């Protein structure tokens, strides 16, 4: 069990530092951590190779790091990427994707869903009348299928 020392606590992959009026965060790495990920020249699928880079980019942009800590983490991750024979521009690409997902998520928080029982083409016609950027339409049915039991 981790215990707070000098106002700091390591929790998962963060170091949380308690100040007089605020808490600050930085990425925590165990002393035994190395910079090994799946190397670019391996025969793994691209999705597996890029998983670590996506994770690093996501961590940089979703954790509440100050500007200095973000820059330090970016430099470390670029070194890890370089050591594993990847182009460091991949971090920028995945960072942009993470930022776009965050913006999209914030924009969609104001949307509400309405449901209509689907009875045919008329339902689509009626729902077109409700077109509104803050409303999303979902269709339901009245079908109550019961499980089919086979007897031998």
pTM of the model: 0.66
pLDDT at residue 117, as a whole number: 83
pLDDT at residue 148, as a whole number: 57
Residues 73-79 have a mean pLDDT of: 95
Better-predicted residue by pLDDT, 25 or 1: 25
How many alpha carbons fall within 13 Å on the CB side of residue 141?
4
Whose CA is closest to 2, among 124, 14, 151?
A: 14
Distance CA 43, CA 39 (A): 9
pLDDT at residue 3, as a whole number: 87
Tokens, residue 123: 């339902």
| Contact partners, residue 30, CB within 8 Å, separation at least 6 | none
Check whether 141 has a pLDDT greater than 80: no
């Amino acid at each position: 069990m981790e215990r707070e020392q000098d106002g700091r606590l390591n929790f998962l992959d963060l170091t949380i530092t308690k100040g007089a009026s605020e808490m600050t965060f930085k990425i925590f790495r165990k002393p035994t951590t190395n910079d090994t990920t799946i190397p670019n020249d391996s025969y793994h699928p691209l999705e597996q190779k890029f998983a670590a880079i996506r994770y690093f980019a996501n961590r940089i942009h979703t954790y509440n790091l100050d500007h200095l800590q973000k820059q330090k983490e970016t430099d470390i991750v670029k070194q890890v990427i370089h050591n594993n024979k990847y182009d460091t521009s991949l971090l920028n690409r995945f960072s942009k994707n993470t930022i776009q997902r965050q913006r999209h998520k914030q924009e969609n928080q104001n949307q509400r869903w309405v449901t209509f029982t689907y009875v045919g083409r008329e339902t689509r016609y009626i729902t077109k009348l409700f077109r509104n950027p803050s409303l999303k339409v979902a269709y339901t049915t009245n079908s109550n299928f019961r499980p089919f039991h086979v007897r031998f």
